[in-house]
Amino acid sequence: AVTPSPGYEVSAWTSASGDQGLAYVRNRAGDERWAPDGTEAAMLRTTAPAQARLQFALPPGEYAVSLANLVTGAVADGPLAADELLDLGLSEDDWGLSWRRVD
């Protein structure tokens, strides 16, 4: 499982064994209620700076992660602990990531 910090939302897929997964992490910090006259209220997605942190709760083991900033295109690869708190810093960007068990 992947749990985001406030201001972010995660949509994730994890294999049945938990040894690999994908996630889309999007900034929701600036969401606004939107209700034009005579219509039902809805949320309008806007971004705002927020601390982007992801708490992982994976089966015990060592993992490799690939992280892509979907706004800038920057990609980073590295190790990931099963219980890692991954801190991406203050951001209003969206992220894509994948992980797989390597041990």
Q: Which domain covers residue 17, as residue numbers?
A: 2-101
DSSP string of 54-65, one letter each residue: EEE---SSEEEE
Q: Widest CA span of the chain, in angstroms?
A: 57
Each residue of 52-100: pLDDT tens digit?
999 999 999 999 999 999 999 999 999 999 999 999 999 999 999 999 9
* Nearest one of 18, 9, 23 to 63, comparing CA atoms: 18
Cα separation of 81 and 72, whole Å?
A: 26
Exposed e or buried b for every residue in 30-51, given b needs 16+ CB within 10 A? eeeeeeeeeeeeeeeeebeebe
Cα separation of 41 and 59, whole Å?
A: 41
On whether the pTM is more than 0.95, the answer is no
DSSP string of 15-38, one letter each residue: -TTSSEEEEEEEE-TT-EEE--TT
CATH number at residue 82: 2.60.40.1180
Compute the mean pLDDT over every residue in the chain, rounded to the nearest whole number. Answer: 94
The domain tally of the chain equals 1
